[in-house]
């Protein structure tokens, strides 16, 4: 009996069963769960054939938009709130809160020394970011790597403006010193729209959503024996903190980028006054056994 509940459930049961012999138990669990949820969605919302074709064409366009410096699938996951959900369910507590990776971590950051300037353009408001990395179960972490990437004061990442910015502008891979500290010079990043010239832009347009992210700097922190942390700091008092297009703001990550007028302090940091100073402590969680999975 086509179209009945009984008929649809038979399809679901057969599909779930087709994965029953998957040798990797986690892969089996993920695939069977995906089938169950997807089939429930279809049963509940009853998409038409034309809607299903539209969805297939849409996902095809998302894939076709991807290249080595453009990740439209991550962007789609971001605007659907999935990236943030995955981050959040993986948090264990006890460390600095995580947030989304985003689609612009697509080139390797150049290795830099503490105190270096990651702003290769020489424009924008001078800014110093000073970090201290500690372990949730102990003191400062020496030799932790801190990968940093950010946009310019105009709101563009280097990879978005290959004819304007040198690759590596706004990026740096640092190591912490024996006190777990690292600091670098940069410019204050701007809020910016996520890329809207692809299928994700079509989705935002069709649903009346704005594309903006509040100003932020990205970090991936890795230390031996600890869980890698992907996070941002957000510039306090900027726009869109309460309506981030990718739902990634957490209160604990909003940081005061204080204006400093003190000439002496400016000399210490090799910048000119006035400049902005962001001070932030990062705590990483000890690795758990299941992280090796």
Site string for Fe ion, 88-107 (x = CB under 5 A): --------------x-----
> Of Fe ion, ligand BEZ, none, which one does residue 227 interact with (CB within 5 to 8 Å by kind)?
none
Min. distance of Cβ 246 from ligand BEZ in angstroms? 4
Taking the complex as a whole, how short is the minimal distance between the CB of residue 173 and Fe ion, in angstroms? 17
Q: Judged by CB under 6 A, which stretch of 23-31, 100-108, 179-187, 235-243 contacts ligand BEZ?
A: 100-108
Is residue 103 within the footprint of ligand BEZ (CB under 6 A)? yes
**Which residue number, 102 or 180, has a Cβ lying nearer to ligand BEZ?**
102
- Choosing from 35, 62, 96, 104, the residue that interacts with ligand BEZ (CB under 6 A) is 104
Spell out, one character per residue from 102 to 131, where the chain touches Fe ion: x when CB under 5 A holds, - when not. x-----------------------------
Question: Which of 155, 228 has the CB closer to ligand BEZ?
Answer: 155
Nearest distance in Å: CB 98, ligand BEZ: 13
282 sits near ligand BEZ (criterion: CB under 6 A): no
Site string for ligand BEZ, 112-151 (x = CB under 6 A): ----------------------------------------
Does 75 contact ligand BEZ by CB under 6 A?
yes
With CB under 5 to 8 Å by kind, the binding choice for 194 among ligand BEZ, Fe ion, none is ligand BEZ
Angle between helices 72-79 and 49-65 (to 10 degrees): 130
Which residue in 149, 276, 279 sits closest to 221, CA to CA? 149
SS (H, E, C) the chain: CCCCHHHHHHHHHHHHHHCCCCCCHHHHHHHHHHHHHHHHHHHHHCCCHHHHHHHHHHHHHHHHHCECCECHHHHHHHHCCHHHHHHHHCCCCCCCCCCCCCCCCCCCCCECCCCCECCCCCCCCEEEEEEEEEECCCCECCCCEEEEECCCCCCCCHHHCCCCCCCCCCEEEEECCCCCEEEEEEECCCCEECCCCCHHHHHHHHHCCCCEECCEEEEEEECCCECCEEEEEEECCCCCCCCCCCCCCCHHHEECCEEECCHHHHHHCCCCCCEEEEEEEEEECECCHHHHC
29 to 58, contacts with ligand BEZ by CB under 6 A? none
Say how far apart CA 208 and CA 167 lie, in whole Å: 34
Q: Kindly state the number of chain residues that form the binding site for ligand BEZ, as judged by CB under 6 A.
A: 9
Restricting to residues 190-249, name those near ligand BEZ by CB under 6 A. Answer: 194, 213, 246
Rounded to 5°, angle at Cα 69 from 242 and 61: 80
Closest to ligand BEZ by CB, 132 vs 218, is 218
Tokens 């989705």 belong to residue: 203
Choose the one of Fe ion, ligand BEZ, none that binds residue 112, judging by a C-beta under 5 to 8 angstroms depending on kind: none
Q: Which residues of the chain form contacts with ligand BEZ (CB under 6 A)?
A: 75, 78, 100, 102-104, 194, 213, 246
Q: List residues binding Fe ion (CB under 5 A).
A: 102
């Amino acid at each position: 009996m086509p179209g009945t509940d009984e008929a649809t459930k038979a399809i679901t049961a057969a599909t779930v069963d087709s994965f029953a012999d998957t040798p990797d138990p986690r892969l089996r669990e993920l695939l069977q769960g995906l089938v169950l949820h997807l089939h429930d969605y279809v049963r509940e919302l009853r998409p038409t054939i034309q809607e299903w074709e539209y969805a297939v064409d849409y996902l095809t366009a998302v894939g076709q938009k991807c290249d080595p410096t453009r990740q439209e699938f991550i962007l789609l996951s971001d605007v659907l709130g999935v990236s943030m959900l995955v981050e959040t369910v993986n948090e264990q507590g006890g460390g600095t809160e995580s947030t989304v990776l985003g689609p612009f971590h697509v080139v390797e950051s150049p290795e830099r020394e503490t105190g270096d300037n990651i702003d290769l353009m020489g424009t924008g408001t001078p800014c110093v970011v000073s970090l201290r990395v500690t372990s949730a179960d102990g003191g400062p972490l020496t030799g932790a790597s801190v990968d940093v990437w950010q946009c310019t004061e105009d709101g563009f990442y280097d990879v978005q403006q290959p004819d304007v910015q040198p690759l590596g502008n706004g990026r740096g891979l640092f190591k912490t010193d024996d006190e777990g500290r690292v600091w670098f010079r940069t410019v204050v990043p701007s809020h910016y729209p996520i890329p809207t010239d692809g299928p994700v832009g079509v989705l935002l347009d069709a649903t009346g959503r704005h594309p903006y992210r509040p100003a932020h700097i990205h970090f991936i922190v890795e230390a031996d024996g600890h869980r890698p942390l992907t996070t941002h700091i957000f510039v306090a008092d900027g726009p869109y903190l309460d309506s981030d297009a990718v739902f990634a703001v957490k209160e604990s990550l909003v940081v005061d980028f204080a204006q400093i007028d003190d000439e002496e302090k400016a000399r210490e940091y090799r910048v000119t006054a006035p400049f902005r100073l962001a001070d932030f402590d990062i705590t990483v969680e000890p690795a758990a056994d299941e992280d090796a999975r």
